[in-house]
Structure 1
Amino acid sequence: MSSLEPRTRSWLEQHGFTIRNEAIWHEALTHGSTGEAKDYDRLEFLGDRVLGLTIADWLYDQSQSAEGKLAQRLNALVSKQTCAGRARAINTSAHVRLGKQAREDGAQDSDNVLGDIMESLLGANFLDAGFDATRDLIRALWREVFDGSTGRRKHPKSALQEWAAGNQRRPPDYEVTDTSGPDHNRLYTVQVSVHNVGAVKATAGGKREAETEAARLFMEKYG
């Protein structure tokens, strides 16, 4: 059975995680580049759903906003960048288990890896301690961004969609024009165009993030 380093167990417990089955937590911190039989992918899948339900319930309880505004904030609060930011806030990069090449490439500080690891840790906590404990943990870890401005402004893609409709233009078209970089730090280049107006490209560590940045840049240039 895989066990945790004492410093890693102490770090997890310090930040409110419940450690019972150490093998789950070993898996939650293990990147695929190590070549081990189990890595964090499955736990990430689970944690993503637990996070989404928790934030949706929290927003519903705390806000009287309409569905569109709730969805806007939900998407921002569970985004890869927000998850990576929460991971950085508790110094997760010091405990990620990576292969030599991935570490040399700086994977321990990439939004993709840290965002995935944050979700995998939530998945591990759900399995080890249940939903109620994990909901309370998420509320503690996300309190700063939940109470802040994250997701309160109109999402760039929504703003561009409304701008196009308001100016009698066709809906914006998003196209991935290039992907580059290793699997743990994949970069996506997306072009957004509006017929008879123009086109703008942006690159980010995820397709959605690149679309969002492209929409933001388009509005800066043409909006």
Structure 2
Amino acid sequence: MKLSAELRAFAGRIGHEFNRPELLVRALTHGSFSSETRPDNQRLEFLGDRVLGLVMAEAMLAADRAATEGQLAPRFNALVRKETCADVAREADLGAVLKLGRSEMMSGGRRKQALLGDAMEAVIAAVYLDGGFEAAREVILRLWGKRIETVEADARDAKTSLQEWAQARGLQPPRYAEIAREGPDHAPEFTIEARLDSGEAASARATSKRAAEQAAAKALLDRLEGRK
């Protein structure tokens, strides 16, 4: 099997030349596009999640040899969570090469956080199976880049930090409201708005209300702190 020009370009963006191109094709095949002759990427996603976790655990230990388990855990979670995987996927323009069924494509599947995050994990597994652990490690560390260095800020509980920011300025605690819900019941996406009584607000989307609230709080906090 030979990769198409767009898949070769994508492989170049992630920094791996595939000896078994069929692995990349499978990693980029969503269940809505799969068939008997073209399996989906779910099994690869399962494996890629574990490979990513091991690479990040090693990176955390190497980056801070004095950190306790309690300090490392939130940093680790921030680096491997679906939202981060989706952000990395967007930077690599993974959505442009993701194979989706018509209905999923029509509903904006190429931009959906859950689909992008899952596919990114599947791509990691494809690199691992094609080139081994070191190849996967190199790709992950390259793609995650400065996120590893700045993870301490990302690992903060954003809702707590936003509440502390508001209280320090005599404001009421932030309010969170669901402003949209999209997708099927088994895979919903929630859009949550975080708002202060001063009128400042920001919204974010995620596959759970909790994650969307955290993301909205972080977006609002980043905006507020950026004005200092």
Task: Give the TM-score taking structure 2 as reference length.
Answer: 0.71
State the distance in 1 between where 2:155 and 2:30 align: 34
1:104-138 C-alpha deviation (Å, 9 max, x unpaired): 11110111111111100000000000001111111
Amino acid at match of 2:136: T
1:53 maps to what in 2?
A: 54
Q: Per-residue displacement from partner, 1:61-113 (whole Å, max 9, x unpaired)? A: 11122111110000001111111111111111111111111111111011111
Distance 1:26 1:152, change over 3 A: closer
Name the Cα RMSD after superposition.
3.0
Q: Secondary structure at the match of 2:148?
A: helix
Give the whole-Å Cα distance in 2 for the aligned partners of 1:28 and 1:140.
19
Relative to structure 1, is the Cα distance of residues 110 and 184 closer, same or farther in structure 2, using a 3 angstrom cutoff? farther
Amino acid at match of 1:21: R
The 5 A counterparts of 1:1-223 are 4-37=3-36, 38-63=39-64, 64-149=66-151, 151-156=153-158, 181-182=183-184, 186-187=188-189, 204-207=205-208, 209-210=211-212, 212=214
Q: Which residue of 2 aligns with 1:171?
A: none
AA aligned opposite 2:41: Y
Query: C-alpha displacement at 1:206, in angstroms?
Result: 2.3
CA separation of 1:150 and 1:79: change in aligned 2, threshold 3 A: farther
Aligned residue pairs total 188
Identity %, equivalent residues: 37
| 1:72 and 1:151 in contact (8 A); partners too | no
Please state whether the residue corresponding to 2:32 is helix, strand or coil: helix
Q: Which runs of 5+ in 2 are unaligned?
A: 163-180, 193-202, 219-228
Secondary structure class of the residue paired with 1:49: helix
Task: Give per-residue Cα distances to partners, 1:125-170, cap 9 Å, x unaligned.
Answer: 000000011111111111121122465553247879xxxxxxxxxx
Counterpart amino acid of residue 101 in structure 2: G
Cα distance in structure 1, aligned partners of 2:106 and 2:186: 12
On the 8 A contact 2:13/2:92 being kept in 1, the answer is no
Amino acid in the other structure paired with 1:97: K
Supply the AA of the counterpart residue of 2:124.
L
Match for 1:54: what amino acid?
Answer: V
